Structures are given as C-alpha cells and as structure tokens.
Structure 1
Amino acid sequence: MASDLATKAKEAFIDDHFELAVDFYSQAILIDPKNPELFSDRAQANIKLENFTEAVADANKAIELEPLNPKAYFRKGTACFRLEEYQTAKAAFEAGSTLAPEDTRFTDWIKKCDKCIAEEFGELPTRSSDATPTNVVDPSLTTKDAEQVKNISSEVTPTPSKPKYRHEFYQKPDEVVVTIFAKGIPSNNVSVNYGEQILSVTIDVPGEDPYIFQPRLFGKIVPTKCRYDVLSTKVEIRLAKAESIHWTSLEFVNNSLIVQRSNVSTSAQRPSYPSSRPTKDWDKLEAQVKKEEKDEKLDGDAALNKFFRDIYKDADDDTRRAMRKSFVESSGTVLSTNWKEVGSKVVEGTPPDGMEMRKWEY
C-alpha cells in the first residue's frame, strides 16, 4: 500500500503537482513511518513548494533513519541554503560529499555557501534597527506567482488548534531558553535539532501521536553552542544567540523589527528600582541559579547524554570530528574522541553484548 502511494507521489512530482505529491507521501509515511526514502522524497517536493522549514524536518528524519544517505544530506543543504542558513547548509553538503565524493554537486554548493558566508559576515556590522527580515523569493517568479506560492505554503502547513505540550521562553543577552512542559518523558524519546534559524523538537512516545515543535526562530543562533536537558517535568533547551539582540518573540514573523542591544557592559544592564528595601545582588542570584542547574541530579540516559554533550562542547575540532565520524559510521554504537584512530578508516559498529548489527533494506 505504501509503495503504491509512493508511486503515485512520484508521478505527481513528475507532472509538477508538488502539493499532491506531498499529500501522497504523507499518506505513505503514515503506513510506513520508518522508510527514509519517503521522508527524503517528501523533502524534495516541499523544496519545490518552497516549504523549506518542512523540507529540513523531512531531511533530518531521513538522516536519522539512514545516516549514510547522501541524497538526504543534499536536500537538507538545499533547504537550509534557501532559508539563508549557510553554515548549516555547508555542514550538510560536506557530510553528503564524504558519502558521495564522486558527486560534484556537493562541491559546487559548498562553494556557494562559502561565498554567502563571506558576504554575510561582511554585512553584519552594518546591520541597523531599521532592517526588516524578508522571505527568500526566487527572482524568476512574478509577484503573482510569489503570492500563490505563499498561499500554497500556508494551506499545506498544519496548524493544530491545541498543542500537546505547553511551551514558553525567556532570554538573556546571549541566549534564549525554551521550556517544553512534558512530564515523565524518557530522554531517548526526545530528539532536538538546530539550524542557524530553526529549532526542531520531536517527542515520540510509543502508542501516542508524535509531538513536533518546529519554529523558524526570531533570530539566528549558533547550533554548536546550543544544548538541551530532559528533566523529570520538562525539556529545557538553551539556544545560543548569534547576535546580542532582543527577541520580541520566539518565532520569526515578516514584520518583526530587530532591535540591536546597545553596547553596554553587563553590570550596567542590571535592573535598578527606587526602593527602601536593600538592593539585591543579581550576580549572586544568577550564580546560585547556575549552581542549582549544575547540581541537578540526572540519571540513566539523561546523565549519559549530558556527559557526552559536555565533552563535545569543550572539545577541539579534531575531537568533534572524531565523535561525529565514529557515531555516524557505527550507526550510533561507537563514540570515539581520537581522530588519529578513526580518521583514516571506517568505524565498524560494535553492538552491545547479546545483540547483533543488522542493515535494514527498504
């Protein structure tokens, strides 16, 4: 049944009926949710519809199901590039290039990313408070065509009336903290991915509909400095800001004005109110909060995940490369920090005692 729907989706795609193709792929995924090809192909259809955020989510799922699929990395890179997330796009193209070195498309796109990254860094200092973010629009489209694409995107994107879990956020000068109030969720049922301006959270509990929270963020973040913790009553995500600007909302909206923070020392930004009460030591309070977060007792997978995230956060480039390469090539069964040991060979999977490695074919 899923294969029949996939065939119909491909036929619709060939006939340029991309919205219909997405619909057929979605029906097929409901029947066969572990098929990476379905997610990868739906990502391509979403790219054609300029649903780039949805395309990134589909490509990430395809990569999760099949980490050595170069096609999924290519489509993730393409969607991220159109979202102007050039660093994330370049990382995806580089990963795909290592898996398919004979495919010159990856090299071409990496060069495009390098050019855009250089231009982006050159423009950062001149950014003013009058700048208004704009959508990426294909210059070949007419105004009428662009409006039709926007209308199609808004129709295809589902907008649930009531989310399964409540979320909120607060911010500091250098980070945004997003809290999703999900109680008693095992850490291995939580997946969090970061882009330059995308947060993708999936909570998938067996027997329940998956919860997916995937906003396009108000401002850009630094994915390598972001982290998350799965606690007993919530999932706490810390997003490192790329720029010290005040976010007026968590999600990006077309008419948002980016307000640049004035270049004032942190001590001068401490709140001060006329009062007869003794002045609070805000530095001490902040240190106390950080100590409580550090001392929070984690166990099981949550403790192990935090341990590996701390190693990755403080590691040098070679150590990070070794961790990424060993984890991907071993299908998540080996995590090495020694680049000299794993850099020149393929890392074989090492299953736990009593289990065996199997390669699934679709």
Structure 2
Amino acid sequence: MASDLAAKAKEAFIDDHFELAVDFYSQAIAINPNIPDLFSDRAQANIKLKNFTEAVADANKAIGLDSSNPKAYLRKGMACFSLEEYHTAKTAFEAGSSLAPEDKRFTDWIEKCDKCITEENGELPTQSSDATPTNVVVPSSTTEDAEQVKDTSNEVITTTPKPKYRHEFYQKPEEVVVTIFAKGIPAGNVSVNYGEQILSVTIDVPGEDPYIFQPRLFGKIVPTKCKFEVLSTKVEIRLTKAESIHWTSLEFGQNSLVVQRSNVSTGNQRPTYPSSRPTRDWDKLEAQVKKEEKDEKLDGDAALNKFFRDIYKDADEDTRRAMRKSFVESNGTVLSTNWKEVGSKLVEGTPPEGMEMKKWEY
C-alpha cells in the first residue's frame, strides 16, 4: 500500500537514508500518483540529496494536485533558492506565507531572497564567498521539516547518463533553441515548464518510464516569452534570453561565470551551434532530421495529408490551382494537377469502388 511505503520513507528520512526515502516515495507514487504529500515529501528528500531540479519538479507536481498546500511552496522555494532562482523562490515563499501566515519560516526566507536579489541587481555574480550564504539553515521546526540547504554556486547539475531521447541546441543572440528528438509523441504527453534559469521537460507515455530533462541553464531566460512545439519527430523549445550573451553550453557550469556578449551581425548570419563536441557536423545533423521527417511512415489521413502537402509544396501556380479546384469541387475524391483539364469545367466527384456519393442535407 502507498501509505505503508510512505511510512517507510519517513523512517528512512529520519535515519538520514535519503536515497532510500526517495526510492520508497517513488514506489508509493507509482501506486497512487494523486497524493500531493508524497511529492512534497520526496522533494524534501531530494533537497537533502542536493537534487534541486528534481525537488522543484516534485514541488510543482504537489502544487498542481493541491494548490493550498503550504509545505509544497516551502520546498519549491528552498530548491529554487539553492539554484539561485531568487525571484521564483520568493514567489513560492510568498504564496506559502499567504496560506500559513503564522509560519515564520516563510518570512525569514523572503528576507533572504530580497537580500540576494538586491545583491544580484547590484552587480554580476562573481566567484566570491560573499555572493551567497555558504550554509543556510531552515528556521527551527519539527524533525521532518528541518532542512539545511547548502550553497551550490559551484556545482554542476548533471542529467541521466543514458537518456531515452537525445537532445541538441543552437542559439541566436536573443534566443536558444533546444531540440529533443522524440518521434510520434502526442502533444498531451509533453509538459514543459520554465524558471528564471531552469528548464523542466517531462515526456510521459503510458506504459513507459517518464522521460525527465531538467537542466539548470547556462544563463537566465524570460519564462513568459518562452514557448515549445511538439512536432512529428521532435519537441522544439524556444528559450528567450534575459541577456544577449553567448552561451558556451546549455547547462550551468564553471564557465557560466564568464560573460560573453553575443556579436550581432548586420548581415544574414547563420546561428552558431556550440557544443562540447566542436567537430560535430551540424549541417549533416539538420539534413538527417529532415530525412527522418521525410521518410516517416504514416498511414490513413496523415499519409494522405502528407502526400498532398509534398506535391503542393513544389508545384507551380497552375498545378496548385488545379489541385485546389479539383479537391474542393469533388468533395475530396479527385485530385488533379492538370489545370487545362479541370479549369474550365466542374469537377464531378468520383467515389471509390463499391461506394456512392450522397448529397449532404442540412
């Protein structure tokens, strides 16, 4: 039962066995994924393990299930604070404080956020011990809620060693485009969330383990201006940069402390494709993706629509006119490319063998 696993997880947490606690919570969530406390408690264990992006995702899930849960906002704020997402953290703490105004922890955290935001606005972050607190302790509370969050300004948040889907990125002076090569995924199974410096992508296909990609980004973005699109062979995510700086990598690391302004060309300059593997042939990769889209096996209406688009795309104007006229006048049963043949007459419908045309009565 989920309740038994949750009890075991709490015991493991109290004994400082945080990885075991996460494992028990995950098992409980697999049995019953609609209990918000399971996600907020797993977020707490992930914070202890310094899995801050995972903690943010868990807290967001808990809030989605129960927006009146102050504990979930506390965990989200703490994880975001550790990721130096001070504005997002402050928003979470303020939401939690409105739900539990008697809890002094929210007030203390809001003050810490204000202090860090002020320092951040004053100058660019530097590798100084005075930039952020080196050891922040949550105000005293119960054993379960007492958490200590250490500074992670010099840490690199890594992704799963063998991800289910590969991803690449390229950039322009004003935006970064992240591509996750996932073929045939319904749009409803893809969830994308944005933070000040966090990208959270979840692809949840029934019967399969969820794919989760949650990098801490090289630079800050403008969440309200970011967007994504689910295509037949990939998920394309467009991140609007907060500053026009050149990202030397997608994820935050030591080189994130070096600010490089993007050189904006007045001509038609192609976007650059930075990578940890500088010898990658990006033109070849782009051609490969286009070939995959072209060779994609479709059936039914999808195949018919693709066939129509491919012919129409490369046709001259007379051919396009013939295709439109014949298709519309025949109620979709005739598709002609000969304008001389169909241009001067009404195209009669030709139903498939064994079927008959009937006029629709309104």
- Pick the TM interval, shorter chain: 0.5 to 0.7
- Separation (CA, whole Å) in 2 of partners of 1:140 and 1:94: 19
Q: Does the alignment pair 1:81 with 2:81?
A: yes
8 Å contact kept, 1:175–1:240: yes
Q: TM-score, normalised by structure 2?
A: 0.62
Q: For 1:117, give the aligned amino acid.
A: I
Determine which structure has greater relative contact order: mean sequence separation of CA pairs < 8 Å that are 6+ residues apart, divided by chain length. 1
Q: Which residue of 1 aligns with 2:215?
A: 215
Partner of 1:260: helix, strand, or coil? coil
Identify if the C-alpha distance between structure 1 residues 211 and 137 changes in structure 2 by more than 3 Å, giving closer, same or farther.
farther
8 Å contact kept, 1:37–1:62: yes
Shift of 1:87: 0.9
- Per-residue CA deviation, residues 272-330 of structure 1 (Å, 9 max, x unaligned), is 9xxxxxxxxxxxxxxxxxxxxxxxxxxxxxxxxxxxxxxxxxxxxxxxxxxxxxxxxxx
| Unmatched runs of 5 consecutive residues or more in structure 1 | 142-148, 273-362
- Separation (CA, whole Å) in 2 of partners of 1:140 and 1:108: 11
Partner of 1:218: helix, strand, or coil? coil
Q: For 2:160, give the aligned amino acid.
A: T
Q: For 2:194, give the aligned amino acid.
A: Y
Q: Which residue of 1 aligns with 2:65?
A: 65
- Separation (CA, whole Å) in 2 of partners of 1:52 and 1:171: 26
Q: Does the alignment pair 1:29 with 2:55?
A: no
Identify if the C-alpha distance between structure 1 residues 187 and 169 changes in structure 2 by more than 3 Å, giving closer, same or farther.
same
Shift of 1:136: 7.4
- Separation (CA, whole Å) in 2 of partners of 1:213 and 1:108: 31
Q: Which residue of 1 aligns with 2:6?
A: 6
- Separation (CA, whole Å) in 1 of partners of 2:30 and 2:37: 13
Q: For 1:261, give the aligned amino acid.
A: R
- Per-residue CA deviation, residues 175-208 of structure 1 (Å, 9 max, x unaligned), is 1111122233232221111122211100112222
Question: Number of matched residues?
Answer: 256
8 Å contact kept, 2:221–2:240: yes
Q: TM-score, normalised by structure 1?
A: 0.62
Larger helix fraction of residues: 1
Partner of 1:246: helix, strand, or coil? coil
Partner of 2:239: helix, strand, or coil? strand
Q: For 1:86, give the aligned amino acid.
A: Y
- Separation (CA, whole Å) in 1 of partners of 2:195 and 2:79: 11
8 Å contact kept, 2:116–2:132: no
Q: Which residue of 1 aligns with 2:185?
A: 185
Q: For 1:222, give the aligned amino acid.
A: V
Q: For 2:242, give the aligned amino acid.
A: A
Q: Which residue of 2 aligns with 1:240?
A: 240
Q: Which residue of 1 aligns with 2:160?
A: 159
Q: For 2:40, give the aligned amino acid.
A: S
| Unmatched runs of 5 consecutive residues or more in structure 2 | 138-150, 271-362
8 Å contact kept, 1:68–1:99: yes
- Separation (CA, whole Å) in 2 of partners of 1:192 and 1:32: 23
Shift of 1:50: 2.2
- Separation (CA, whole Å) in 2 of partners of 1:28 and 1:269: 56
- Separation (CA, whole Å) in 1 of partners of 2:205 and 2:136: 44
The higher radius of gyration belongs to 2
Identify if the C-alpha distance between structure 1 residues 6 and 115 changes in structure 2 by more than 3 Å, giving closer, same or farther.
same
8 Å contact kept, 1:76–1:92: yes
Shift of 1:241: 1.4
Q: For 1:159, give the aligned amino acid.
A: T
Shift of 1:18: 2.2
Report 1:46-195 matches (<5 A): 46-124=46-124, 138-139=134-135, 159-161=160-162, 163-195=163-195
8 Å contact kept, 1:133–1:254: no
